[in-house]
Chains A and B, each alone.
Chain A
Amino acid sequence: MDGDCGALLPRVLKVLADPTFDIPDDTCLEKLLDWLQDQARLEDAQSLVQEHPCIPHFISAVCTSESPDAAILAFAVKFTGILAANEGAFLRLDETGVIRMVFGCEEGIMKEMWEDPSVRSAWLHGLGGLVQHERGLRFFCESGLNRVALECQHDKSLFVTSGANNLLAHILNFACLPQCEESVQGDVTCRSAWDRLTVDIVKHISDTLSSDAQFQRRQALKLLALTLPGCRRPLLDRLWAAVLGPLELQIKMEPNSLVLPVMETLEAASRTDLFGQSDARIEDLIEAMLTSGDPNKVIQSASAIIHLEQCSESLKRKALDFILQPLLLISSSSTDTPSPVNGDSVKVHRAVLEGQLTQKSTCVPLLSLSLTSVSKLTSMEFQFMEIPEQLVIGAVMELLWMCLGESKTSTHLIGCSRLQRCCLDALSNLSTCQGGSAIRKNVLEALYHCLRNPDSEPTVLQKSLQAVLKWICVGSYSSELTEFLSQDLFPVLKRRVCDVQWEVRDSTLEFITQLSAHFTDNSVYRELLDCSGILPLLLASAEDGESYVRASAIAALGQAVTTLGPQGVQDPQSGLQDDVVTRLMTILAEDSEGFSRRAVVKVFTSWLKYQDSPPGLDLHGVLSLGSDDLDWEVKMYTLELAEALINKSLGLSFPNEPSPGPERPDVTEAQKKLEENRVLPVLLKNLFDYDRPVAHKACQLLLRLREDLGLTAGSCDSVEATAILGGGQSAEEMVKTWLKKRANSKSTSASESLQKTPDRTAGACVAASDWPTKLSFWELLNCLDLELRAQTLSLSSDHVVTSPRSLMEDILSAAQQSEDNMVDCY
C-alpha cells in the first residue's frame, strides 16, 4: 500500500464508522472495496490486518454501532470476507472476535439489519471469501451458518439467491479446490465438517427439487448447474443419486416452465464422469425433455441438445427433427409436399403442433424459436444430417413468402415483422450451407420481394440487405447475378435510397458501400454501377437532412470512386472523383454534424492508403480543416490521414499490407513532401489538444516521424521555425508556452533533468523569450520532449481523480461538508 493511502486509510475508516456520516456517492464504497481487494491480493492480507489496526477496529465499530447505515455494514462485511480469505488474517480477526460479530447473523447488528437485502447479499459474499480454507470451513460448519445460507437460497432477492447459490456450490466443491484438497483428505475434523455440510446441502437440493414452489425448484436447478462442473466422486455420485428422482419428476411435469434451467443442469451433468455411467441415465433424461406436450419447450430443449458435445448422434437427429418440424410442417402445408420430419419421435407432437400453427398468437413464438435455433445451428457449421439443407432453406423462404402475403394457403402471418426478421437471420446464416449457389436465384428473388415490399419495416429491410449481401457472395459471379443486380437490385436500391425513413436510407447506403467493396475488382459490376444511375443519388444523399445518412452516403461515394477508379468507367472525362472531392471538401468545411465530417476524412484517408493521392485533392486543406474541427473524432481521423501521408512519403507499409520495395524515398524528399502539406503544424497543434486521445495520437506520430526520418543532430538543414509551423499562430504559441514552462521547471531541477535525459536537453535552452528564428526538424522534435509527453498522455484522463488516494480524499472532504447533499440526478 502506498504511503499516502496508508496514512489516509485510518481516517477514512473512522469517518465511515461514524453513524452520522452520509455516504457522498453510492459508488464510493464499491470503489474503495475494489482497491482494498487489490491490496489484499497484492500484499499479504495478514500483514494488512497487522499493520493497520484501524481495520479490525473499523469492522468491530460498525458491528457494534447502534444504527449503522446498511451500505456501510454491507461494506464492512464484504471487506471482512476479503481479508478472511487469507488463513492468517482469518485467525487474527477471529482472535479479536470480529469474525463472529460479522458472520453470526442470528445475533447483534447482523440480526437487526438482516431485513436489508444488501446486508444479506454482503454476508453471503463475505462467507464466499471465508470458506477458502479449512479453518474458515470449520467455522462455517460449527457456527451453523449452513442453515442460514440454505434459507438464503430461497430469498426474495435475486441477488441474494445468486450469492447463496455461489456459496453453496463453492462449499460442495471445496474438497476439489487445490488448496483445500489436502486438508479435507488429511484432517479428520475438516473432513467431518465438510461431510456434514455436504449431507445437508445435498438433502436440501433434493428436497427443494421436489418442492411445489417453482421459484425454489428453479434455484435448486441453478445450484446444481453451478455445482456439477466442479464436482468429483464420491460426492458427485451421492449428489446425483439424490437428485435423479426429483429431476425425473420435474422433467415429466406439465407444464414444465423450467426447461432452460433443467437443460442447463443436464448439460452440466453431461460434462461430468456421470455421462458414461448407465445408471446415471443422463441421456435418458435429456431425451425425456423432448416428450413435453408443449412444442415451445421441446424446441428449447432440442436447441440445447444439439449443442451438447457428448450427446449421441441419434438423439441429436431427434432433436433436429423437433427443431425443424414446425418450419417444415407449415411450409409443406403450403406447398403440399410431405414433410421429411415424420419419424415416430415427433408424431405424438404433431397434432398439438398443427393446432398451434394455425393460431397467430402461438404460431409466431413457435416459428421464431425454430428459426432462431436454425440460425444458431448454421453459425456452428452444423450439418443437417439426412435432411437436405436446400429443403430447410426452402422452408424458410416459404415462410418468408407467407409473411409477404404471397402464399395462397396461409394468411395469418402476413406482415409479421418478428417472423420476417427471424427468417432473414436464418437465411443469412444458411448462405454458408453447401449447395447454396444452386438455389441462390430463388433466395435472391424472395429477398428482392422483401426489399420491394412497401410495408417492410426498417429492421426487416436492413436484415434483407444483409442477407442479399451474404447470398451474392455465395458461389461465383454469373450472368444470372448480373441480371439480378441490374434488373432487380439496383432499381429497388434507387427507390430505397430515397425512402421516407432515414433508417432505410441509411441501411441502403451502407449496403451499397459493402456491395461496391465486395466487387472492387469486378469489371462487370463496375460497369453496372456506373450505368445504374445510383451515383447521382449518392451525391444527392450526401446532402440528406439526417447526418447519419449523409455520413453513409459519403462512405458509399468514397467506395464507389475506389471501385470505379478515378475516371469512372463509361465516361473517362466525367471526372467523377473531382466532383466527389469538391463536394466532400464543402461538407468538411460546412457540415454542422460531426458524423459527415468524420466520414469525409475517412474517405480521403482510404483513398490515400490504397491509391495515389487523388488529383485535385488539397491535402493541406483537408489537414488544416480537420485539425481545426470542433469534433474530436474528426481530429483523430485527420491524424490518421496525416499518418497515411507520412507512410506514403516515407514509403512505409500500412498494417495488413505487403511491405513496399527496397527502394525508400530520400529523407529530404520525404521531409519536403510533408512540409508542403504542412503535416508538422497539424501534429504540433493537436499535440496540445484539449482532448487527450487527439493529443496522444499526435504525440505518437511525432515520435514515429522522428524515428522514421532517422534524424540526428545536424542531419537536417535548419529552416525557419515559422515556416515549419506553417504560420499556425496558435501552434507556435503553444509550443512557446510549453517550452517556457519546461525551461522553468528545468531550471529548478536542472541537474536532475540533465541526468535523466542527457540526450534530450537541446530544447531546454529554447526559452520563449529567445525563440530561435531557425530551428531544424530535429531540434524542434527533440526540444518537445515527446517521450515524457507520450507517457503523460497515455494515462487515462481521469487517472488522478480516480486514484485511490483521490477517492479517500473525497470521502474525507464529504465528511467535512456541513451542508446536506441532497440527492440529485439528471
Chain B
Amino acid sequence: MPDIKVTPLGAGQDVGRSCILVSVGGKNIMLDCGMHMGYNDDRRFPDFSYITQNGRLTEFLDCVIISHFHLDHCGALPYMSEMVGYDGPIYMTHPTKAICPILLEDFRKITVDRKGETNFFTSQMIKDCMKKVVPINLHQTVQVDDELEIKAYYAGHVLGAAMVQIKVGSESVIYTGDYNMTPDRHLGAAWIDKCRPDILITESTYATTIRDSKRCRERDFLKKVHETVERGGKVLIPVFALGRAQELCILLETFWERMNHKAPIYFSTGLTEKANHYYKLFITWTNQKIRKTFVQRNMFEFKHIKPFDRSYADNPGPMVVFAAPGMLHAGQSLQIFKKWAGNEKNMVIMPGYCVQGTIGHKILNGQKKLEMEGRATLEVKLQVEYMSFSAHADAKGIMQLIRMAEPRNILLVHGEAKKMEFLKDKIEQEFSVSCFMPANGETATVETNPSVPVDISLNLLKREMALGGPLPDPKKPRTLHGTLIMKDNSLRLLSPEKALKELGLSEHQLRFTCHVQLQDPHSDADTLTRIYTHLKSILKGYTIQHLPDSTVMVESIVVKVSSTAEEPNLKIILLSWSYQDEELGSFMSTLLKKGLPVGLC
C-alpha cells in the first residue's frame, strides 16, 4: 500500500525550530529549515545526518519549502545549502524571499557579537543561498518536476507567510507553517481550498487556548505606552528588524495621530526603511483595509516615527524607542535598557518571547537585580511588561482550518506535547480522522489509497453498454474487463483485440496442464467413459462432451487417459485448461485425485 511518511527533525512536540521531512509518492520534501535561537552551538540547527548519512542532500531532497521568514522556520537555510551543501530548488513566496535575508543578517550580527561562535554562515552565504530560491505566488501551481507540484495559500501570521499544498499524482499533503485565522491590523486571515489532502500538517502553538481578541491586547499596549509617556517616562520596545515591529509601528502611529501626541517615537535599527519598503512593495499581501487606504495614505509612511541616534537616549522627557535586537541580547536595545532601567517612570515592553541567556529572559522572569560586567549590578526599577503579539491560530482557528480543508488525516507539529494531546483527542472526536503527533525523530506513516487515472477507449465503453446493465454510477463500482497498457507515462484500458493490434502482438493461449494418477482396472477407453459419467453426475449445468478422439471436454478443459504396458491399471489422466477455467480445472484435478466411485459404469 502506498504511504506518506512524515518525520519532524524539529517542531515535533516542541516549538523550537521547524524542520519536517515528508516523503510522498517517492519524493522527499523538506518543509521549513529553522534555527533554534536558544543555542550557541550546532544544536541550533537540525541534524541533517539523520536524513542522509553521506551528506548529499541534493541527491536526497527534491525540494525545500519555506513557509515564512521567521528564523525558527528559515534560520538554518544558509547553513544547509551553503555549509552542508544543497543545490536543489528552495521555494518561498516573494515577500519571504525579500525579507528573509534581512532577518538572517540581523541574527548573524548577534552571533558575531557573541565571541567564540563557530560554524555560522557569512553574509556571502546568505546571498548565495537566496540565489537558489525560486519565488512563488499565491494560488500558482508550480511544477517542481514532472510528478511533483506545489501550490501556496495565504496564511496571515506575517507578511508573505504561506501554507503549501504538495501533490504527487493523486496523493497530497498540506503544510500550514504558522498561520492566523483572524485578520489583524495589517494582515488578513488564512484561507485554503477544500482540497481534501491525505494529510494536513498543522501548527498547534495555541492548541488548547482560545485567545482573547488581539484588539484587547492592542488596547492594553497603547494604554501602557500612553500612561508612561503621560507621566514623562520613556518606553523601550526591543524588536527584531522586521515583523512585529511594523505592526506595532502602525498601531502607535495611528494612536499618536488620533491623540495628537507630541512625544517622539524612534526606530533604531537602521533597517526600518528597508522593512517599510518591503511592506509597501508587497501591499497585496496585507489586508483589505490597508490595500484600500493605500491610495490616499500609505500606512507605512510614518509621520511620527523617526530614526534614532544614540545621543537621543539621554534626552530628557518622554519618548518611545523601538530598538534591536528583540531579546535584549546585546547592542543598542541593551544599551538603552541599561540607561533607562534605573528609573521607575520608564517601561520596557517585550512583544515576543525571549530565550534563556538573554537579559530579556531575565527581566521577564521577574529578576530585579541584574549582574553586569565586572560584577557590577543593575537595578531594574523600570516597569517590565510582556505582551504577546504572536499571530497564531488558536484551538478554534485550527478546527476551522480543518473544516475548510477536510483532510483525511491530521498531523500536529509546532506545539507542546501535553497541549497537542488535548487537541488530538478533540480532533479525533469531532472529525473522526486519525491525528498524529510524532516527536522529533519519529516517523508518522499514513497509508494512502491513490486513485490512478486511466483512459478508457470509447469502443470498450460502448461494448460494455451494449452488454446491458445499469448506467455508470460512481457510488456503485463494477468490474470492467480490458487490457491495461502502460506506455509513455500514461495508462489506457482497451479491448484485448485493440491492444494486440496496437502493440503489434499476436494472441497466445495460456493453458494449465496437470497429470493425475489413479488405479483403475479397466481399459483406457472404459476409464475415460467412467470419468465422463462421474463428471456428468457432479458438474451439473456445465457442458460436458465425450468426443470421438478419446477426449472428454468440460467447457475448455480437456481430459485424456493413458497407461503403460508395464502397469496397465495405473491410469495417467491428463487435464488441460485455459486460464478462464482455472477454478474449474483446479476443482476437477482435486476431484479426480480422490479416485472414481465404486460401482460406476
Binding site for B on A (CB under 8 A): 24-28, 30-31, 116-118, 156-160, 162, 222, 260-261, 264, 359-361, 364, 368-369, 372, 418, 421, 425, 458-459, 462, 503, 506-507, 547-548, 592-595, 630-633, 690-693, 730, 792, 794-802, 805-807, 809-810, 813-814, 816-817, 821-826
Q: How far is the CB of A801 from chain B (nearest CB, A)?
A: 6
Q: What residue of chain B has the Cβ atom nearest to residue A461's Cβ? A: B131
- Do A159 and B109 form a contact, CB below 8 Å, given A592-B273, A630-B270, A813-B366? no
The contact of A372 among B7, B56, B330, by CB within 8 Å, is B56
Indicate if the CB atoms of A157 and B439 lie closer than 8 Å: yes
B132, A798: Cβ atoms closer than 8 Å: no
Establish whether residues A260 and B357, one from each chain, have CB atoms under 8 Å apart when the complex forms.
Answer: no
**Interface membership of B114, Cβ < 8 A:** yes
Q: Offer 30 A-B interface pairs, CB within 8 angstroms, sorted by A.
A: A24-B365, A25-B356, A27-B38, A157-B439, A158-B50, A158-B441, A260-B54, A361-B489, A462-B131, A503-B130, A547-B274, A594-B105, A595-B123, A690-B334, A693-B113, A794-B115, A795-B115, A796-B113, A796-B116, A797-B114, A797-B330, A800-B371, A801-B357, A810-B356, A824-B205, A824-B352, A825-B390, A826-B70, A826-B72, A826-B390
Q: Is the CB of B274 within 8 A of A26?
A: no
- Who on chain A is nearest to B108 by CB? A633
Would you list the 3 A-B pairs with minimal beta carbon distance, nearest first? A630-B270, A27-B38, A824-B353
Closest residue on chain B to residue A160 by CB atoms: B441
Are A117 and B442 in touch, CB under 8 angstroms? Answer: yes
**Is the Cβ of A691 less than 8 Å from the Cβ of B331?**
yes
Which residues of A have CB within 8 Å of B205? 823-825
B264 within 8 A of A: no
B367 close to A (CB within 8 Å): yes
Q: Does B226 contact A (CB under 8 A)?
A: no
Contact check, A816 vs B366: say whether CB atoms are below 8 A apart.
Answer: yes
Question: Which residues from chain B contact A806 at a C-beta distance below 8 Å?
Answer: 357, 362, 371
- Give A593 to B415 CA distance when docked, in angstroms: 37
Most buried by A among B209, B358, B364, B439: B439
Assembled-state Cα–Cα distance A264/B374 (Å): 52
Q: Which of A360, A548, A792, A817 contacts B127 (CB 8 A)?
A: A548
Does B311 have its Cβ within 8 Å of any Cβ on chain A? Answer: yes
Q: Which of A360, A792, A809 has a CB less than 8 Å from the CB of B373?
A: A792
Residues of chain B in range 317-331 having any CB-CB distance to chain A below 8 Å: 329-331
B365/A810 in contact, CB under 8 A:
yes
Nearest residue in A to B443 (C-beta to C-beta)?
Answer: A156
Find out whether the CB atom of B332 lies under 8 angstroms from the CB atom of A690: yes
Contact at A807–B115, with CB atoms within 8 Å? no
Closest to B269 in A: A630
Asked if B388 contacts A824 (CB within 8 A), the reply is: yes
The answer to whether A800 and B372 have CB atoms under 8 Å apart is: yes
Contact residues of B between 116 and 171, Cβ < 8 Å to A: 116, 123, 127, 130-132, 145-147, 158
The answer to the question of B416 belonging to the interface, with a C-beta cut-off of 8 Å to chain A, is: yes
Which residues 383-441 in B have Cβ within 8 Å of A in the complex?
388, 390, 414-416, 419, 439-441
Please give, as numbers and ranges, the residues of chain B lying within 8 Å of A458 by CB-CB distance.
131
Closest Cβ of chain B: how far from A463's Cβ, in Å?
9
Binary per-residue interface labels of chain B (50-64) against chain A in the complex, 1 for a CB within 8 Å, 0 otherwise: 101110101100000
Q: A26-B16, A162-B50, A817-B365 are known contacts. Are A730 and B311 too (CB-CB below 8 A)?
A: yes
B43 at interface (Cβ–Cβ under 8 A)?
Answer: yes
How near does chain B come to A307, taking the closest CB pair, in angstroms? Answer: 11
Q: Does B476 contact A (CB under 8 A)?
A: no
CA A264 to CA B49, docked complex, whole Å: 14
Q: Which residue of B lies closest to A792 (CB)?
A: B373
With A372-B59, A418-B88 as given contacts, are A813 and B131 in contact (CB-CB < 8 Å)? Answer: no
Known contacts: A800-B371, A801-B359, A826-B352. The answer to whether A27 contacts B365 by CB under 8 A is no
Name the CB-closest residue of A to B364: A821
Bound form: Cα–Cα A626–B502 in Å: 77
Shortest Cβ distance from B2 into chain A, in angstroms? 15
* A-B interface pairs (CB < 8 A), number: 186
Taken together as a complex, chains A and B put the C-alpha atoms of A364 and B147 apart, in Å, by: 13
- Secondary structure dominating the interface of B: loop
Count of B interface residues, CB-CB < 8 Å: 83
Give residues 342-364 of B contacting A (CB, 8 Å): 352-353, 355-359, 361-362, 364
Q: Are B131 and A27 in contact, with the CB atoms below 8 A?
A: no
Assess the B72–A825 pair: CB atoms within 8 A: yes
A25-B361, A813-B362, A823-B416 given; A798·B273 CB < 8 A = no
A503 touches B331 (CB 8 A): no
B residues in contact with A796, CB < 8 Å: 113-116
The answer for the CA separation of A809 and B358 in the assembled complex, in Å, is 12
> How many Å lie between the Cα of A372 and that of B58 in the bound state?
10
Is B243 a contact partner of A826 (Cβ separation < 8 A)?
yes
Q: How far is the CB of B487 from chain A (nearest CB, A)?
A: 11
The closest CB in chain A to the CB of B330 belongs to A797
User: Which A residue sits closest to B40, measured CB to CB?
Assistant: A802
Chain B residues within an 8 Å CB radius of A158: 7, 50, 441-443
User: Which chain A residues lie closer than 8 Å to B112 at the CB level?
Assistant: 693
Within the complex, the shortest CB–CB distance from B239 to chain A, in Å, comes to: 12
Query: Does any Cβ of A come within 8 Å of B36's Cβ?
Result: yes
> Cβ of A798 and Cβ of B329 under 8 Å apart?
yes
Inter-chain contacts of B145 with A (CB < 8 A): 361, 364, 418
The chain A residue sitting closest to B18, CB to CB, is A825
The distance in angstroms between the C-alpha atoms of A158 and B364, with both chains bound, is 36
Q: Which residues of A contact B371 (CB under 8 A)?
A: 800, 805-806
Interface members, chain B 286-339 (any A CB < 8 Å): 307, 310-311, 329-332, 334-335
Contact between B127 and A506, CB atoms less than 8 A apart: yes
Q: CA of A632 to CA of B325 in the docked complex: distance in angstroms?
A: 13
Residues of B within 8 A of A547 (CB): 274
Cβ B270 vs Cβ A594 within 8 A = yes
Residue of B nearest to A507 (CB): B131
Q: Verify B53–A692 contact, CB threshold 8 A.
A: no
CA distance A823 to B71 in the complex (A): 17
Give the distance to chain A from B204, nearest Cβ to Cβ, in Å. Answer: 10
Q: B365–A118 contact, CB under 8 A?
A: no
Asked whether A632 lies within 8 Å of B109 as measured between CB atoms, the reply is: yes
Please report the C-alpha to C-alpha distance between residue A458 and residue B158 in the assembled complex, in whole angstroms: 27
For the complex, give the distance between the alpha carbons of A692 and B109 in Å: 10
Residue of A nearest to B310 (CB): A690
B59–A360 touching, CB < 8 Å? no
Known: A630-B270, A792-B374, A801-B358. 6 other contacts (CB 8 A): A158-B7, A361-B147, A368-B59, A369-B59, A822-B209, A825-B70
Q: Which of B244, B311, B330 has the most CB of A within 10 A?
A: B330
Could you tell me the distance between the alpha carbons of A517 and B53 in the complex, rounded to whole angstroms? Answer: 39
Q: Check if B250 is an interface residue, CB within 8 A of chain A.
A: no
Min CB gap B154→A, angstroms? 18
Tell whether A798 pairs with B357 under 8 Å between CB atoms, given A260-B54, A361-B147: yes
Nearest CB of A to B489, in Å: 7
Please give, as numbers and ranges, the residues of chain B lying within 8 Å of A30 by CB-CB distance. Answer: 39, 43
What is the bound-complex CA distance between A266 and B592, given in angstroms? 56
* Interface check B14, CB cutoff 8 A: yes
Report how far A807 CA is from B14 CA in the complex, Å. 21
Q: Which of B26-46 touch A at CB < 8 Å?
A: 36, 38-40, 43
The listed residue with most B CB atoms (<10 A of its CB), out of A730, A799, A800, is A800
CB of B198 closer than 8 Å to a CB of A: no
Closest approach, in angstroms, between the C-beta of B462 and any C-beta of chain A? 33
Most buried by A among B105, B131, B244, B353: B131
Asked whether B218 is an interface residue with its Cβ less than 8 Å from the other chain, the reply is no
Tell me which of B52, B330, B356, B414 contacts A807 (CB under 8 A).
B356
Contact at B87–A421, with CB atoms within 8 Å?
A: yes
Contacts of A592 in B (CB 8 A): 273-274
If A507-B131, A798-B330 touch, does A28 touch B109 (CB 8 Å cutoff)? no
CA separation between A794 and B113, bound complex, in Å?
A: 10
Q: Which residues of B contact A816 (CB under 8 A)?
A: 366
In angstroms, Cα B443 to Cα A797, docked, is 40
Which residues of the partner chain A approach B361 to less than 8 Å between Cβ atoms?
A: 24-25, 801, 810
Residue of A nearest to B124 (CB): A510
Interface core residue of B87, B273, B352 (most chain A CB under 10 Å): B87
